[in-house]
Amino acid sequence: MQISYQYQGQWHVKSLAQSEVVVGRPNNQASVDIDLSPDTTVSRVHAKLWQENEACWIEDLGSRYGTTVNGTAITGRHPLSEGDQIRIGETTLRINAG
Pure H helices in 1-98? none
Task: Fill in the amino acid letter for 6.
Answer: Q
pLDDT class of 96 with cuts at 50, 70, 90: confident
At 52-66, the pLDDT tens digits run 988 999 999 999 999
At 38-94, the pLDDT tens digits run 999 999 999 999 999 889 999 999 999 999 999 999 999 999 998 999 999 999 999
Q: Which residues 6+ apart lie within 8 Å of 81 measured at CB?
A: none
Task: Give the per-residue pLDDT at 16.
Answer: 87
At 18-29, the pLDDT tens digits run 989 999 999 999
Domain 2-96: top CATH class = mainly beta
CA-angle at 63, arms to 15 and 3, nearest 5° = 10
Give residue limits of the domains in the chain. Answer: 2-96
pLDDT class of 98 with cuts at 50, 70, 90: low
User: Distance between CA 91 and CA 13 in Å, rounded?
Assistant: 13
Task: Give the per-residue pLDDT at 57.
Answer: 97
